[in-house]
Structure 1
Amino acid sequence: MARPPEPAVAGPSVRRALLRPLLWSWGIGLLAAVIGAYWLARTSANVAFDRGLQDEVSALAAKVTWSDRGPLLDLSRQAMEIVTWDRDDRNGYAMVDVEGNTLAGDSHVPVPNARLRQAGFAQPRLFDAEFDGEPVRGAVFSLKSPMLDRSVSVIVVETKNKRTVLMRDLQLSIVLPALALGAVTFAMIGWGIRRGLQPLRDVATEVSLRDAQDWRPLPLQNVPREAVPLIERINSLLANVESSVQLQRRFVADAAHQLRTPVAGIRVLAQNLAEELAAAPGDQASWRPMLAQLERSTDRLSRLIGQLLSLARSETALSMDGEHQTMDLVPLLRESAEPLVLQALRQGRSIVLEAPEAPVPARAHPIWLGEVVNNLLDNALRYGGPRVTLRVAPRAEGGAVVEVEDDGPGVPADQLSRLFEPFWRGERADLRNDGGTGLGLTIAREVVLRLGGRIDAASRPDVAGLRFTITLAA
């Protein structure tokens, strides 16, 4: 059996090759954007809220008054509620002396160390601490009495809930647009690459729809400039293949044509020699088998040359669709089978045509479809049983199905795929003396494929013997 084709190994797609570095670049940029957004949001939120804390502690420090009893924080009830009330954060304030003892406000407010309180005389200082188990940000502002040798520190603390919310909002406002922009960008780039590669897909589609013998140059219209050298090289290869195939066909046709004359001469000479020896006296038993073998050999050689000419002519004649036409297959099949019907009757066998009374139209060639049926019937008479059936029927979707079936021994299942190979005639074909050439089924397949149809073979146990099915389009 023919070796199955090796699976194609494809490289990475152009789209992936282009998008991968862009994806890495975008990913690195997104990571940098996330880090930058985190830093920017944290810095911006801290700056804004820290400034508010400094302003607040400065405002409270302005309310400190000095008397002979010591420092006092002069706050009205309404001012105290404004300082301590917040819907999202927990706030607190306190005034402490040099030793850190609370003189006013909330005694639970964390007190920064003495060095920080000492540095707070020039301007408010910021610090981080915990207030009843919650992390807080605080500001401290220290004051010294202008008349007494005493100093106090005013402290304001605030939890970080609003800071966290603001930081998250700022980060989302930067990251989400970056993600959306990246998604849109990659979608547009992917669409652009797909659109740019569409001409190449169009070329591939055209090639897949072409006949195996169609070697016309591939179109260069709308092909990307980078792919033009590739298409031009493919066109050059197509031209070389067409030239080689045409040269091979001409050689086969010319060689077969040149061989016909000497083979015919040998056949005539063999017949004349047989007549002369028959008229001569003497024992004829020794040379008659040799002459019979010579006649069979010349007959087979003549048939082989004729089949080679048919194969070469069919490849040329069926290369153009203009040679095809829609016709009724029943008269064509009847005419093609008639000579072989008479041959089968002389052998004590039969060929039966099963066809409907109505016409069976299909797209075919008036000469070469007859050649196909003739070859299939000839194959059935050589290798089949006593009964051969030729059927034709229309297809529901249009076109026709033609079957040639015999009741002979059939072909082993592992050899069905080799039936259409040139010169293949089964196991030990060299020992056969059936007059076959091994080209009839090859010609049949070539013609059917050129007609845009399909030919399949089935054998025992699926059918009675061997059956060939030809499917033709409308």
Structure 2
Amino acid sequence: MNKSRSLKTEILLRLAIPLILFMSIETVLSYFVTLHHVNVAYDRWLLDSARSLTEGIKVRAGNIFVELPPAALDIFKWDELDKTYFKIISEEKGMLEGDKFVPEPLVPEINWSSPIYFDDEMYGEPVRVVSILITHDETPEKIFVHVAETLNKRRGMMMDILLADLVPQLVLVLLVGVYLLAGVRRGLQPLNVLADEIAQRTPRDLRPIPERHVFLEVRALTDTINDLLERLAQAIASQERFITNAAHQLRTPLAGLKLQAERALRKQDVAEIKPALIQIQGCADRMSHLTTQLLILARSEPINGGYELRQLDMCALARKTCIDWVPKALQRHMELSFEGFEQPLFVQGDEVLLRELLANLLDNAVCYGYDKGNIVVKVERYPLPTLIVEDDGPGIPDVEIARVFERFYRIPGSSGDGCGLGLAIVKEIADLHKARLELDHAGEAGGTRIELIFEAQ
């Protein structure tokens, strides 16, 4: 199960993590830059120490020797923090003066035109070493001076510089963090106000969300919610009208049932009760038909999802439905014919709902058509798959065409005992299949032609 995340936490993380990352990178870069400059500064002092030793190198009668007074050595080695070692060697005579453990460069071929600096260890401590080559006019012999120094002063200076650099940065990070936290809280406050306002609403309060406290970035969300609220309000209003109309339609057959039942109770003779029983049966049939249509209408609502669109043969479905309706057409001496193809005509649809759609069209044609009339069901393939139902009845007046698909609407003065749901069901099922519904006159003499056109699927 996915855990819900806080928007405030998400924003702070997205701001704080890059800030910490950049600070870490800057700290690493500062360390290496500081190390470079500290080494440059102390390497100069170390070189000065090595050059000061060269003053004690003497050449007499071709012999090289070192004269370093004790006072000079004390000055050379005096340091409160670091230890300094040196070694003076001759290329031919070897060790002349100093500590023999002072490291020497390990590179075989070295360009001695400039001092050589390197890091090493001496007596278990890390040291920085400088090596220089000394030449004397009185002898061609090469003399090397190596001076090593421990790293305590360097480390101390590095820590001082880094702390001087890092402490202000840490304070800055803390201040920025506090500012970001306060800013995010202030920025999200309008959303909290909006949430509190919505939470205080009643379930029937579907007014649009006010946008006076809403940021532009959140406006798309509130617009979407407002659109949903508007459609929900329309759906609830439609459902309320539907329930009201359904209750009104059910009231008539129920009143008839009650009236005929009371009439039957007043009669003693079975023969006198029979007409009331026939009326009761008619009322029950009307209630059964109305209940069936209400259930189908509810099933065809997109919000209920009680359907499944899959590939089916429209020709086979229309042919079978027409066969089922032949007996009812014959009761009114009507001729019901079907014009289709032997080859399948596939469309994406729900078989039960499409069968009910055609059944409602045939029911209207049979109930409102003329006796001994004609009903034709056609299936056409081009330009788009189309189902057509034609009859030669009285037709629908032009002024009523726009209203006949409304729920519970009946054309004034029309015959039959329908409840005004047949064509409404047809419209709902057509919309569910994203099919276009067209209603027109079948010909100059009248009649009705209804086409269900399946758009490209």
Q: TM-score, normalised by structure 1?
A: 0.48
Q: Normalising to structure 2: TM-score of the pair?
A: 0.49
